[in-house]
Amino acid sequence: MTKRDFTISTEAVHAGTLSKRPHHTLSMSVAQTATFTFDDTADLRRYMSGEDPDPEREEYGRYGNPTVRELERRVAHLERGDDAVAYSTGMAAITTVLLTLLKAGDHVVTFQDCYRRTRQLITQTLANFGIEHTVIPSGDLEALERAIRPTTKLVFGESPTNPYLFCTDLRRMAELVKRHGRIRTVVDATFATPVNCRPIELGIDLVIHSATKYLSGHNDVLGGLVVGPDHLVSLLRETRHVVGNVLDPHAAWLIARGLKTLGLRVTRQNATALAVARTLEQHSRIRRVFYPGLESHPSHAVAREQMNGGGGVVSFIVEGDKEAAARVVDGSRLGRIAPSFGGVETLIEQPCNMSYFEFSAEELDRIGIDPALIRLSVGIEETSDVVADIVAALAY
């Protein structure tokens, strides 16, 4: 199957899969092994010299695994990239990209609204290794132009962002960065999924997914993937060989199984999230709603241009204080209080009580996290039930 034979939902089921499997199985097998064998010394020498007739044969589990390799091919197909490399977690994927493409003295530009650990990695961990950074307002491409220096090697962003769901004009960003020479663009597209947006088609170099979220879709496995051109993915794979943050083959199998329903799940979640967002926008107890599918969102025009749906997460600020928001969270019967998003179950959380629990009011204000902010990740439950549940929770 070529990359563009069918729609993305059909490709999520079939693209990148093997047409013939050992023992004629329909489902992919789990190659649960740490090492691989050779018939004799001549067989080993053929492999080591690159003359092995099987181009995907492996030597050791840290260097690759056939189950993981099939998952990588499938996600590369979905994102329209040449290849992909899988990691043990989404943060392992992000960390490996930054460590591979940056060195002491380099400069990276990133956007303000992003996952807390990504911000910590760029502004604290990498700073310890002499890598400089500039943080700019989300989606502000004029600020990006001003931030670029002769030492800038990387622009890293999310689209949509976590938790306010800002969308960057990725085509304009890619064109702007390319005018400055050899600067790489990297986008964490976990919130978007390949169903809603494919950044590589818009000119972005590398796309990152926390496969823990929508790709697997069942809140039961950790994983991360990076998709891009062959020459960059080869560099990332070589770093993985050294660092060892490999994806477990059984985890790869779970993610691959989840991929088959990606189109169904995300289409349902798009519709439910939009219904929730429109309901909340009209509710008297809501101060503000953040959802790129709403005309009121600052990124709506960009999202309408480059996305097929607004995604399954709605963030909103309730009238009142931190405790008022907590009562809404506790009042939800359907939403489970938990971190993460993108699974089949609806999850609800208050960022100041979850990701930013130890932050002071001043620190929250500095990074733009309102104490009354709630993030709702809708699942695949009936849309009317999710809407009714959050409306009932607002009565508490």
pLDDT in tens, 226-240: 999 999 999 999 999
Q: Torsion angle of alpha carbons 358, 360, 361, 365, nearest 10°?
A: -90
Verify that 158 and 275 share a domain, yes or no.
Answer: no
Cα Dmax for the chain = 76
Looking at residue 4, its pLDDT comes to: 54
Does the pLDDT of residue 56 top 90, yes or no?
A: no
Does the pLDDT of residue 306 top 50, yes or no?
A: yes
Tell which wins on pLDDT, 14 or 135. Answer: 135
Rg (CA), the chain: 22
Over the chain, what is the mean pLDDT? 95
The residue among 244, 259, 274 that closes a domain is: 259
Verify that 291 and 197 share a domain, yes or no.
Answer: no
Verify that 284 and 199 share a domain, yes or no.
Answer: no
Verify that 120 and 150 share a domain, yes or no.
Answer: yes
Task: Name the residue range of residue 143's domain.
Answer: 8-30+61-259
Verify that 218 and 290 share a domain, yes or no.
Answer: no
SS3 content of the chain, % helix, strand, coil (to 5): 40, 15, 45
Verify that 229 and 279 share a domain, yes or no.
Answer: no
* pLDDT tens digits for range 198-207: 999 999 999 9
Confidence category of residue 3, pLDDT binned at 50, 70, 90: very low
Verify that 212 and 323 share a domain, yes or no.
Answer: no
3-state DSSP assignment of residue 384? helix
Q: How far is 349 from 315, CA to CA, in rounded Å? A: 10
Question: Would you say residue 102 lies in a domain?
Answer: yes
Tell which wins on pLDDT, 17 or 3. Answer: 17
Beta bridge mates, 184: 154
Confidence category of residue 2, pLDDT binned at 50, 70, 90: very low
Question: Can you read off the two tokens belonging to residue 183?
Answer: 């600067």
Place of tokens 């799940």: 265
Verify that 238 and 329 share a domain, yes or no.
Answer: no
Question: Would you say residue 2 lies in a domain?
Answer: no
E-state strands within the chain:
83-87, 107-111, 132-136, 152-158, 184-188, 206-210, 224-228, 286-290, 313-318, 336-337, 347-349, 373-377
Q: How far is 382 from 269, CA to CA, in rounded Å? A: 10
Confidence category of residue 390, pLDDT binned at 50, 70, 90: very high
Question: Would you say residue 171 lies in a domain?
Answer: yes
At residue 257, what are phi and psi to the nearest 5 degrees? -65, -45
- Single-letter amino acid, residue 155: V
Verify that 194 and 242 share a domain, yes or no.
Answer: yes
Looking at residue 16, its pLDDT comes to: 78
Please state the length of the chain.
396
Span 35-57, average pLDDT: 92
CATH, residue 351: 3.90.1150.10
Verify that 114 and 182 share a domain, yes or no.
Answer: yes
Tell which wins on pLDDT, 355 or 255. Answer: 255
Confidence category of residue 1, pLDDT binned at 50, 70, 90: very low
Span 43-65, average pLDDT: 91
Does the pLDDT of residue 346 top 50, yes or no?
A: yes
CB atoms within 10 A of CB 23: 5
Verify that 227 and 107 share a domain, yes or no.
Answer: yes
Tell me the whole-structure pTM to 2 decimals.
Answer: 0.93
3-state DSSP assignment of residue 331? helix
Return the ∠ at Cα 106 (arms to 104 and 110), rounded to 5°.
125
Domain count across the chain: 2
* pLDDT tens digits for range 144-192: 999 999 999 999 999 999 999 999 999 999 999 999 989 999 999 999 9
Looking at residue 369, its pLDDT comes to: 92
Active site positions, annotated: 62, 115, 188, 213
Q: Which of 51-60, 172-181, 238-247, 272-281 has the lowest mean pLDDT?
A: 51-60
